[in-house]
Amino acid sequence: MTPDLAVDAPLATLVRADHADLPATTPTAWIVLSAEQPLLAESLRLALVRRGLDTLVVPWPDEPAELAPGRLLAPARPGGVGVALVEMASEAELDGIGALVERVPVRWLLLAHRGPNPLWGAAFDRGVDIVLPTTTDLDALVDLVGRAARGEQLLDERRADALRAVWHDVLAMDTLRSRVRSLSARETQVLRLLYGGTGVHEIAVELGVSDSTVRTHVAAVLRKLGVASQLRAVAVYDEYLDRTGR
């Protein structure tokens, strides 16, 4: 039986099916803790210390100097495992997660207050081994720390890939939306007419401008959408309309 993660989504698939077959022993590991809220990190540290686990708290890296590549925030030691507690409500938190993974060279478990969302996939892109809700009970967390310290697989990679795909889709949509919204009102009008199958000359007649003026607008549309042809611009606009439900 997998641990009760106390969330609506089927997150039990994150933990391998043989999870409960392992002996309930204290793992041989040392733990690095970090949290956006220091009191949360300290509370969890005390709970883990009572389990006999060597635990170190490092500050959440949110200052520019802490986010920049450079010195390690904690030394590398065999059997090291990182546990980060984070809200997972904004992309700004990803910089802190990335800094922890880069500057504390251990396997990282992320406890997220917000349930499954695209940022979970972004965390995997930053190098986190597994993302779990903060409602995960202490026994399950300690067991996962032990598994991580032993170098065992914690996660069904298909689930991680699915979460990454959701995040990548969000990034693609953000890029697409930004490019379309960068068009001026006249450029958008020209693009819509192209999308409707209207040719350059017909657009010029409809707008009461010269063909060369329309071609100038078309060139600007292609440049801003990052495409090389009118056909591709129409395809991008079709994708935008489909994704936004317009």
Domain boundaries, the chain: 11-165, 182-244
pLDDT of residue 30: 83
pLDDT of residue 91: 86
| pTM > 0.75 | no
Q: What are phi and psi of 232, to 5 degrees?
A: -70, -35
**HEC profile of the chain:** CCCCCCCCCCHHHHCCCCHHHCCCCCCCCEEEEEECCHHHHHHHHHHHHHCCCEEEECCCCCCHHHHCCCCCCCCCCCCEEEEEEECCCCCHHHHHHHHHHHHCCCEEEEEECCCCCHHHHHHHHCCCCEEEECCCCHHHHHHHHHHHHCCCCCCCHHHHHHHHHHHHHHHHHHHHHHHHHCCCHHHHHHHHHHHCCCCHHHHHHHHCCCHHHHHHHHHHHHHHHCCCCHHHHHHHHHHHHHHHCC
pLDDT of residue 73: 62
The residue written with tokens 């007419």 in the block is 193
pLDDT of residue 76: 63
pLDDT of residue 115: 85
Nearest-angstrom CA–CA distance, 200 and 203: 5
pLDDT of residue 27: 52
pLDDT of residue 90: 87
User: What averages of pLDDT result for each successive group of 10 residues across the chain (246 residues)?
Assistant: 32 34 52 90 91 88 61 66 92 89 90 90 93 92 92 88 90 90 95 94 95 96 94 91 79
pLDDT of residue 77: 66
Instruction: Please tell me if the domain spanning 11-165 has the same topology as the one spanning 182-244.
Output: no
pLDDT of residue 5: 32
- The CA angle 59-15-141, to the nearest 5 degrees, is 40
Domain 182-244 is found in CATH 1.10.10.10: yes
pLDDT of residue 224: 95
Nearest-angstrom CA–CA distance, 121 and 110: 12
Write down the CATH number for the domain with range 11-165.
Answer: 3.40.50.2300
pLDDT of residue 104: 86
pLDDT of residue 71: 57
Q: What are the angstrom distances between the C-alpha of 61 and each of 14, 45, 68, 85, 233? A: 27, 18, 9, 12, 41
